Structure 1
Amino acid sequence: MNEHWVDVCNADDISDEIPLAMPVDGYEIALYRVDGEVYATDNLCTHGSARLCDGFLEGHEIECPLHQGRFDVRDGRALCAPLTADIRTYAVRREGERVYVRIGLSS
């Protein structure tokens, strides 16, 4: 699969408290802003198929709303039970106020 960058939103569309779900080339991606940086992961929890955009973001951790498992949004690592699998992350870049996500390869 070829990689390509997709213009997904304006940086101001992403809240510091609430993840933003965006459909991107057939993927549903969650975008997070933490300390001014933007991160992107799959939006679906690997454990219970819950949407992470409905979870609780604290620092670099997103908590799944279904069973309270947490992932690190920087690298997708599953941080606690009941999670056993990481989530996919996507490279993000900003050009001015626009946010782009790289589709096709994991970051």
Structure 2
Amino acid sequence: MSFVKVCPVDKIPAGGAIAVEVGDLPVALVRRGETVYAVGDLCSHAEVSLSDGEVEGTTIECWLHGSCFDLRSGRPVNPPATAPIATYRVKVEDGFVYVSPDGEGPGGRS
């Protein structure tokens, strides 16, 4: 499994999200405490950027219709979304975030 160096961890606001591209994949990076999650940045319901939404606990909310997704599994936790979003393996080394675009995996690594 390969990892791509994406950004310094301190570029991600504490308790917030940013949009990045990993290769040609739109990815939202979320930082909660010492844990960084990487999920697909497009809502499975409306295809808008999730990184523009609110983060609460281990969920991210789509700003358009209010669907929330679990950052660990990608599963929607409320409607109108019914399909999950992608999750990607993450590692943080020497202050930088690395994401594996090779396959989906559990969200959140520190």
Tell me the number of residue pairs that the alignment of Structure 1 and Structure 2 aligns. Answer: 105
Give the secondary structure class of the aligned counterpart of 1:101.
strand
Matched, 1:18 2:24: no
Letter aligned with residue 96 of structure 1? D
RMSD over aligned CA atoms reads 0.9
Distance in 1 separating the partners of 2:82 and 2:103: 22
Percent identical among aligned pairs is 40
Partner of 1:6: 4
Give the distance between the partners of 1:89 and 1:7, measured in 2 at CA: 17
Residue 74 of structure 2 is aligned to residue 76 of structure 1 = yes
Compute the TM-score of the two structures, normalised by the length of structure 1.
0.94
Gaps in structure 1 of 5+ consecutive residues:
none
2:68 aligned partner, one-letter code:
R
State the shift of 1:36 in Å: 1.4
**1:27-42 pair list within 5 angstroms:** 27-42=25-40
Q: C-alpha deviations, 1:5-60, integer Å up to 9, x for none?
A: 10000010011233110011001100000121000000000000110011011111
Aligned mates of 2:15, 2:65 — CA distance in 1: 20
Separation of aligned partners in 1, 2:54 and 2:46: 16
Deviation at 1:75, TM superposition (A): 1.4
Structure 2 unaligned blocks of 5 or more: 106-110
Runs of 4+ in 1 over 2 A off after TM superposition: none
